[in-house]
């Protein structure tokens, strides 16, 4: 199972919005509404920000939102803040019953 494709890096200024894409195939992202997104700060464990494409766990800021179109899922962060600077990973369920992560995207807040 190949890793999902994410941009290596994205950046934005405080207050702006950014979007991180996660591209797979019809056997994973495109075939199921089971995409989740994780935020990881250096030296820390990942934290779920979005699950099942667009659901936000309690306690996660509503500045984070998720969507999907075809084989590509997206994470949008609006009103960028310095604390959003981190690595972000998408994860999808697949047709073989396993999960697969994206390669990760480093978000820099300028």
**Which residues in this chain contact another protein in the complex, by CB under 8 A?**
1, 3, 32, 34-36, 38, 40, 45-48, 51-52, 57, 87, 89, 91-93, 97-104
CB of 51 to another protein, least distance (A): 4
CB of 79 to another protein, least distance (A): 24
1 versus 78: smaller Cβ distance to another protein = 1
85 versus 87: smaller Cβ distance to another protein = 87
CB 14 within 8 A of CB 28: no
47 versus 63: smaller Cβ distance to another protein = 47
């Amino acid at each position: 199972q190949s890793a999902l494709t994410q941009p290596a890096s994205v950046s934005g200024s405080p207050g702006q919005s950014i979007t991180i894409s996660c591209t797979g195939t019809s056997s994973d992202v495109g075939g199921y509404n089971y995409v989740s997104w994780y935020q990881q700060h250096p030296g820390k464990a990942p934290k779920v920000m979005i699950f099942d494409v667009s659901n936000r766990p309690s306690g996660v800021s509503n500045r984070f939102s998720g969507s999907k179109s075809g084989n590509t899922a997206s994470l949008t962060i609006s009103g960028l803040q310095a604390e959003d600077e981190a690595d972000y990973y998408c994860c999808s369920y697949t047709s073989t019953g396993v999960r697969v992560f994206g390669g990760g995207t480093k978000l820099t807040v300028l």
